Structure 1
Amino acid sequence: MTQIDRFNELLEAERAGVDTLSRLFPEARGPEMQKLFEAVRDDEAWSCAGLVRSIKTLGGEISEKKGDFADKVMHEPTLAARLTLLNRGQGWVVKRLDGLLAESLPPTVGTFLQEMKSRHLANIEACERLAESLG
């Protein structure tokens, strides 16, 4: 798998993340949960835009695909289980980011990936606290 392929794999996963959070939003049990779901969804969308810029910077072709993660999450029986699976997906992204960050990248791309990783780690922590409070 080429570096561009790995960036596109992340892009497809982040698009699925936007879809997942959009589908979880109606299940929010109050304004604080809605705020969290919106913030995570917005971070996923921010990641999509940054990945597109990064792929262009690297001279690659941008995938138009979206992963099927949202369907997997929505098949979970409870909101707590959905959040747990969402966090597993976020952790998968962090591992992929670590792999890319170990490679030679233009400074702007590396800086973006570091920020993307930081946002994912913060979102994992927030969603983990929420999942624990649910059940």
Structure 2
Amino acid sequence: MNEPTSPPCGAADADDVYMGYAGRDEIVAALNELLEAERAGARVAAESAKTRSPAGFAELMRHVRADEAHWCAMLDRHIRCLDGSPSHSTGDFHARAMAIADPVERLSFLNRGQQWVVRKLEALMPRIRDDRLHADLAEMAQRHRDNVAAAEDFLGRLQSRK
């Protein structure tokens, strides 16, 4: 009797890439791209928090900065766990955002950056096999959605005052 060369019971032992998951190098590259973006967002928020007008803007920026810093640390930790080297670069988003003088327009731009991160996370998560990393990325995506909603609420309140 001929035995199959690739029995289904061996699927659990198959390589992650073979099973459709992202490989280590791809994950490290994606996490570094996110790390650079988060670092840029943290810097934009920190520098923007120095702006005192409109009312409530600085507080919102301090919250976003703390959140971005939290995700930088999480991404750094996972990259190191994968025996990768965390990038020390800051994404070009920082320079583009800081070129926007009006804080409200900059907040809109920052919000689009937050939405970009969510899209990147949503594309990456189905390809992550590690449960801990997947859970952290899912939480990161949700917190970015929360930040987007808070910024949209803030921007909406500004519009209603006009």
- TM-score if structure 1 supplies the norm length? 0.91
Could you tell me how far 1:30 is from its partner in structure 2?
6.6
Could you tell me how far 1:22 is from its partner in structure 2?
0.8
Q: 1:7 aligns with which of 10, 20, 31?
A: 31
Report the counterpart of residue 115 of structure 1 in structure 2: 139
Name the SS for the 1:66 alignment partner. coil
1:60-111 Cα distance to aligned partner (Å, 9 max, x none)? 2211111121221122242221111001100110011111211133111111
Superposed CA RMSD in Å reads: 1.7
- State whether residues 115 and 148 of structure 2, in contact with CA within 8 Å, keep that contact through their aligned partners in structure 1: yes
1:12-45 Cα distance to aligned partner (Å, 9 max, x none)? 0000011000111011337733222111100000
Q: 2:102 aligns with which of 55, 78, 101?
A: 78
For the pair 1:103 / 2:133, whether they are aligned, the reply is no
Please list, as runs of the form range in 1=range in 2, the aligned pairs for 1:1-135 lying within 5 A after superposition: 2-29=26-53, 32-135=56-159
Pick the structure with more helix per residue. 1
Unaligned runs of 5+ in 2: 1-24
C-alpha change, 1:70 and 1:133, in structure 2 (3 Å) is farther
Higher RCO, Cα 8 Å, sep 6+: 1
C-alpha change, 1:134 and 1:40, in structure 2 (3 Å) is same
Give the whole-Å Cα distance in 2 for the aligned partners of 1:7 and 1:28.
Answer: 33
Unaligned runs of 5+ in 1: none
Give the whole-Å Cα distance in 2 for the aligned partners of 1:70 and 1:132.
Answer: 24
Q: Which amino acid aligns with 1:9?
A: E
Number of residues paired by the alignment? 135
Report percent identity of matched pairs.
36
- TM-score if structure 2 supplies the norm length? 0.76
Name the SS for the 1:76 alignment partner. coil
- State whether residues 45 and 62 of structure 2, in contact with CA within 8 Å, keep that contact through their aligned partners in structure 1: yes
- The structure having more radius of gyration, on CA atoms, is 2
Give the whole-Å Cα distance in 2 for the aligned partners of 1:105 and 1:28.
Answer: 44
